[in-house]
Amino acid sequence: MTLNTLENLAYANYKEKNLDIAMDMYKEVLSDQTDLYGKYDISCAQTRTNIACIHIKSCEYQDALDQLDVAEDILAEDILLDVLGTKSRRLKKIRDMIACVQYEMLKFPSVGEIFNRAMTKGGVKNPITQNLLCSCGNGEVSDLEAMKKFQPARPESSSKLSGHRISVA
- pLDDT over threshold 50, residue 139: no
DSSP 132: B
Residues 1, 152 contacting (CB under 8 angstroms) = no
pLDDT, one tens digit per residue, over 121-138 is 777 777 777 766 654 434
**Backbone phi, then psi, for 132, in 5-degree steps?**
-65, 130
Reported pTM: 0.74
- pLDDT over threshold 90, residue 65: yes
Q: What is the pLDDT of residue 151?
A: 76
Residues in the chain: 169
DSSP string of 96-118, one letter each residue? HHHHHHHHHHHS---HHHHHHHH
pLDDT, one tens digit per residue, over 90-126 is 888 889 999 989 988 888 878 877 777 777 777 777 7
CA distance linking residue 64 with residue 19, whole number of Å: 14
CA distance linking residue 47 with residue 50, whole number of Å: 5
pLDDT, one tens digit per residue, over 146-156 is 566 677 877 87
Q: Higher model confidence: residue 123 or residue 5?
A: 5
Q: Long-range pairs for 40-46 at CB < 8 Å and ≥24 separation? A: 40/74, 40/77, 40/78, 41/74, 42/74, 42/75, 42/78, 42/80, 42/87, 44/71, 44/74, 45/70, 45/71, 45/74, 45/75, 45/90, 45/94, 46/71, 46/90, 46/153
